Amino acid sequence: MLINPDRFNAFCSRWDVPAVTTDLLFKAHYQAMSDYSHRLMDGDAVDFHWWVEHFFGLAGLPHRPGMVQAFGGGPGMWNHAVPGACDAVMKLRAKGYRTAVVSNSDGTVADALEAAGFGGLFELVIDSTNVGISKPDPGIFQVALDGLAVAAGDTWYVGDSLHHDIGGARSAGLAAAVLIDPLALGPRDQLSVRSVAELPDLFAE
């Protein structure tokens, strides 16, 4: 899920800044996520506040004092399903794959999934706020593995952050980690897809 364009632009309107197209929000998200991951992997002490500020800049928003702070983590905004994602999860379940979510969130990811159309599609939803562990700590992945009663070696993880998702899944010893990389920003040797919608085809190989 990504930031809901309608809710984001409603936020922007309160700060007298122009609306942002869905396409630009999409590109800004993935570029900011890639840049954020590389800064963290280089040892820079940046946090999610840095991501938000960078994301705003990539989305072309003019600077407004206090706007980034007011946005915070974007509560109530992360419920926009990537086109084809719900259908992809349903196809994977139909193939017999078990599906779960491990998310760095604020305790609301289950509600956000429901709002985005994913209701009932995941056997387990792990929210970092609820379990007190955040990616890339391998402990949060272990919580999911224990909850599903599956082995790390039988489990794949899919995410859009090289640092939090790919690095965390590798640390947890998962069989594979797939990067969602629509802008082709990741390493050439990294297993990746351009969208969650491509996962059923990847698993068919």
DSSP annotation string for 43-78: T----HHHHHHHHHHHTTPPP-TTHHHHHTT-TTT-
What pLDDT digit, counting tens, does each position of 148-204 carry? 999 999 999 999 999 999 999 999 999 999 999 999 999 999 999 999 999 999 887
pLDDT band at 130 (very low <50, low <70, confident <90, very high): very high
Q: pTM, whole model, 2 decimals?
A: 0.94
Structure tokens at 52: 């938000």
Domains of the chain in sequence order? 5-71 (no CATH), 85-204 (3.40.50.1000)
Structure tokens at 33: 């996520």
What pLDDT digit, counting tens, does each position of 21-79 carry? 999 999 999 999 999 999 999 999 999 999 999 999 999 999 899 999 999 999 999 99
CA pair distance 63, 41, nearest whole angstrom: 27
Task: Please check the confidence at residue 205 and state whether its pLDDT lies above 60.
Answer: no
